[in-house]
Amino acid sequence: MFDSGSEAGLLHPGVFDVAVAGLITGWAIAIPVGAIATFLVTLTARTSLRVGAAAGLGVATVDGVYAATAVLGGAALTSLIGPVATPLRIVSAVILLLIAAVTLWRALRPRPERARESAPMTPRAAFALFVAITAVNPATVVYFAAVVLGNNELVSGPAQGVLFVTAAFLASASWQLTLAAGGAALARVVTSDRGRRNLGVLSSILIAALALRTLLS
């Protein structure tokens, strides 16, 4: 038999509010299309859904960690990140420009006729790469900290904090996996060597452009 007090706590509307806040926060930070999302889609199109899914979960993992860090650190964390936000933004832009250059090189390098394009990376490597390029984006943790600080009544205890972080992670993961699925669908459309080459060139241009926007913002 369930304890009535525990049951009432589980059904308390505050639990629903925290879950919804976490989901909305996760989607809000994940859905805007930027360099990482563009890279995720085109990487999946050029490799496989498995690689793309691993990359997407790398992004969601960082989002979850930053959400947890924001819940624990709050205002102190925001003040710590402030002085290093510009260097981190520069590092992020440089990494993305390097990725754009490598993507362009892979697209344009000469290959023997009928040679099949090998996967640029394994799922494990894709996960690690996307963890790295997401982690150096200071805007993510600042965004989560701002949401938490603006909604102190929602995340007022350990249970609410765990629920908020879990919801944010699931929301981000759901969107990243959607992007990976889109990349896999794109791969079924772009099947010729020329199409894949053009896709690689377009991907490198978009990533470079978004990296420059990051650098200049």
pTM of model > 0.75: no
Would you state the pLDDT for residue 56?
96
Would you state the pLDDT for residue 61?
95
Give yes or no for a contact between 172 and 29, defined as CB atoms under 8 angstroms apart: yes
What are the respective helix, strand and coil percentages of the chain, to the nearest 5?
80, 0, 20
Query: What are the residue boundaries of the structural domains of the chain, listed by start?
Result: 14-110+118-216
Please give the helix or strand (H or E) that residue 53 lies within, else none: helix 49-73
Would you state the pLDDT for residue 115?
44
Please give the helix or strand (H or E) that residue 91 lies within, else none: helix 85-108
Per residue of the chain (217 residues), what is the pLDDT tens digit? Answer: 334 444 444 444 477 888 888 888 888 877 776 778 888 998 898 889 999 999 999 999 998 988 888 777 765 655 666 676 677 677 767 877 887 787 788 777 765 544 444 546 899 999 999 998 888 776 676 676 666 666 556 666 788 888 988 999 999 999 999 999 999 988 877 656 667 677 777 777 877 876 777 677 6
Give yes or no for a contact between 140 and 62, defined as CB atoms under 8 angstroms apart: yes
Residue type, 195: G
Interatomic CA distance for residues 52 and 184, integer angstroms: 8
